[in-house]
Amino acid sequence: MTGALSPGIEIDRVSIRLAGREIVREASLRVAGGEVTYLLGRNGAGKSTLLRAIAGIVPVSAGTISVNGAALARAPRPLAQIGTHLHPDGFHSGHTGVRHLRWLATASGINPARVGAVLEAVGLTSAADRPVTGYSLGMRQRLGIAGALLGDAPTLILDEPLNGLDIMGIRWMRGLLADLAADGRSVLVASHLFDEVRRSGHRVAVVDGGRIVADAGVDEFIDGHASLEDAYLSTIGEIR
C-alpha cells in the first residue's frame, strides 16, 4: 500500500430504514487504521446492513459515513478507497476466477495487471481459469477476498469471510488480517467465530437490535468476564 495511515471508517449517528423498518438505529463507530475490528451480533442484528451502507450499497436514512475522510460517493475510484467482500456468491456464473477479477478491475479503474498478484495472495492461481460455478464455498470466499484486495485500498470490510474456509484457509486468513492491520489498514470484519475474534481481532463492536451496544478493545471488552463469549452474551443481555 502507498500512503500514510488511513483515517478509516467514521460512522456518525447512522440510521437505516429498509422496507419501512428501522434496521440500524443511530449507530456511531470509528474503525481506525492498523486494527482489525470485529462486528459481532446475533443473526438479524444489522451487521450486514451496516457493512452494505459503508460500501454505499444501501442508503442511510440519517447520519453520515465517511471512508478515509470523505463520503465514498465522491471517490472517483471507490475500490481504491475500500475493498469489500460482502457475499461469497456475487460472481457472474459465466466467469472464471481470473475473468471475474479482470472485469472488476476494469469496471473500477484498477490496473488489471494486479489480478495475478491478488490471485496469488489468496492462493487461487492454479484455479484461476476454472469457471466460478465449480468453485467450493472456500474458493468463492477466497475469490471475494481477492476482489477486496484488488484496489490495494487502505480500508477493507469483510462479511463473514471465514465461513467455509478449511483450517489452512482459516490460518491463512488470520495471517492476512494481521498483515493488513500491520500495513496500517482499517479492517472491519463481521463474524460469529469468537475463537478467530480472539486470535486476530484488536477491537470488537457489538450490534444489537440495530444499535452499537459496545465498542472496545478486545481485552477491555473481556475484562471482568470469563471469556469473550461471556462478555458478549452479557452485553446482549443473554447472561447476567
Ligand X SMILES: Nc1ncnc2c1ncn2[C@@H]1O[C@H](COP(=O)(O)OP(=O)(O)OP(=O)(O)O)[C@@H](O)[C@H]1O
Across 181-216, b (16+ Cβ under 10 Å) vs e yields: beebbbbbbbbebbebbbebbbbbbbbbebbbbbbe
Cβ closer to ligand X: 110 or 162?
A: 162
Asked whether the beta carbons of 191 and 162 are under 8 A apart, the reply is yes
Cβ closer to ligand X: 26 or 183?
A: 26
| Chain Cα centroid distance, residue 225 | 27
Please state the closest distance from residue 40 (CB atom) to ligand X, in A: 9
Cβ closer to ligand X: 2 or 43?
A: 43
Cβ closer to ligand X: 49 or 155?
A: 49
User: How many angstroms separate the CA atoms of 135 and 90, rounded?
Assistant: 13
Please state the closest distance from residue 53 (CB atom) to ligand X, in A: 10
Cβ closer to ligand X: 25 or 100?
A: 25
User: How many angstroms separate the CA atoms of 240 and 230, rounded?
Assistant: 9
Helix (H) or strand (E) holding 218: helix 218-222
Please state the closest distance from residue 85 (CB atom) to ligand X, in A: 14
Cβ closer to ligand X: 48 or 96?
A: 48
Please state the closest distance from residue 20 (CB atom) to ligand X, in A: 9
Please state the closest distance from residue 233 (CB atom) to ligand X, in A: 15
* C-alpha dihedral (62, 214, 219, 81), degrees to nearest 10: -10
With a CB cutoff of 8 Å and minimum separation 6, the contacts of 116 are: 125
Residues forming contacts to ligand X in the complex (CB under 6 A) are 18-19, 23, 41, 43-49
Cβ closer to ligand X: 118 or 157?
A: 157
Please state the closest distance from residue 207 (CB atom) to ligand X, in A: 6
Please state the closest distance from residue 238 (CB atom) to ligand X, in A: 15
Q: At what angle do helices 115-122 and 97-107 cross, to 10 degrees?
A: 130
User: How many angstroms separate the CA atoms of 42 and 84, rounded?
Assistant: 22
Helix (H) or strand (E) holding 63: strand 62-67
